[in-house]
Amino acid sequence: MTVRTRFAPSPTGYLHVGGARTALFSWLYARKHGGKFVLRIEDTDLERSTVESVNAILEGMTWLGLEYDEGPFYQTKRFDRYDEVIQGLLDKGLAYRCNCSHERLDKLREEAMKRKRKPRYDGHCRHRGVSPDEPHVIRFRNPETGVVAVDDLIRGRVIFNNEELDDLIIRRTDGSPTYNLTVVVDDLDMAITHVIRGDDHLNNTPRQINILRALDANPPQYGHVPMILGDDGARLSKRHGAVSVMQYREAGFLPEALLNYLVRLGWSHGDQEIFSVDEMIELFDIDAVNKAASSFNTDKLLWLNQHYIKQDDPKRIAHLLSPQMGNLGIDPAQGPDLVAVVEAHQERARSLVEMAEMSAFCYQDFETFDEKAAKKHLRAAAREPLERMREALAGLDEWTQERLHDLVEQVSASLELKMGKVAQPLRVAVVGRAASPGIDVTLYLVGKQACLRRIDKALAYIRQREANAG
């Protein structure tokens, strides 16, 4: 048997990280077992489905590298097939027309709630022979006795009593098919062997199995992945921050970091934290997925992202960093080589956005000094070291890291100061804050004229402080 999995999002919004994890698990299962991964767009909700959402899903899949072997297939292009199946069920007496009013159905629901029972349709139209010429829905004739046993790949065996499952609607009054019908037909026609999806679909599974049996088909194997929670224990949502896959790209995350993080949300392999894609494929299996919900931890994701930034080729990081610099109004072509800037910050940045913010001083002057850093380092005692450094830098013809390092050492020695007593005021003068790469790298990236201009600004700041103190 060839393993065939699928990812079947509804295009009513962005690709959510929960959906991305489901797609990843399905993709990994297919890859591990030498199978096929199918992408299906479930766009039967005509009012809410949009082309923009379809594009967002496809873009997210591409960014994550979750390539599909077949598809994308669109349900809106398969309505004739759904009608054919529904007609077949009607012909066999396995489905029927229902013209119950909304008022009657609402009353049924209210009465069930009063009795603290699960609301369900009472089968009123099962034997009434409703005319096809009047407004109606079509319902599946669900078995009234027996059980449906779901041998879930994650949760184990789950038993559902048929008497608790009502005759669900499979075609609406407007003629459009419903989710539980379309997903069954699609999984059947596309020969899906394993359905890996969120556990919010678990209650749909016995209904779908009954429809498949009515079609004389064997159900696929199901695995229902627990939900993702925010740090506060509530279901992950917009209020927890970014939830769209593409928001993470915009926030400066690398796709391999997000994939690595998502695979560890509910699955593990010993204590291993870092997984390449090849390792994920080799080690992943669905029966090792945890039954309990997982909590999303942004700090852990940032830690992983920093790891991948450190390990990556500086040229690739520079390519990805460029648009982030543009977001800050910086043209990387107007300044030091962006690859050199990346190399200077690669060990420190947790995201590309953070790296862009850290690197801005290389391309543009800052407006104000960091208050804490200036108070500590731009004092009267720093005036002479800064004046001596300005004089030495102004006379430097060879602007290299080696010469700049030697110059800071020489000025420190001539003043009989430790190097930090010269380098730290100089760093704050040139960068505006107390943290930056090594002072030689910092000076080199900023450039001669900008360094002199910013040192002048720092000296003016010190003189102003002295005047105010006097």
Q: What is the DSSP letter of 350?
A: S
Q: Is 448 a catalytic residue?
A: no
| DSSP codes joined into one string, 242-295 | --BHHHHHHTT--HHHHHHHHHTSS--STT-----HHHHHHH--GGGS-SS-EE
Residue with tokens 């779908």: 208
Catalytic entry in 92, 118, 238, 418 = 238
Cβ burial 255-269 (10 Å sphere, 16+ → b, else e):
bbbbbbbbbbbbbeb
| Cβ–Cβ under 8 Å, residues 28 and 281 | yes
65: left (phi over 0), alpha (psi -120 to 50) or beta: left
273: left (phi over 0), alpha (psi -120 to 50) or beta: alpha
| Cβ–Cβ under 8 Å, residues 227 and 200 | yes
CA-atom Rg of the chain in angstroms: 32
For residue 72, whether the previous peptide bond is cis, meaning omega lies within 30 degrees of 0, is yes
Q: Give the residues across from 150 on adjacent strands.
A: 158
Token output for 404:
């700049």
**Active site positions, annotated:** 238
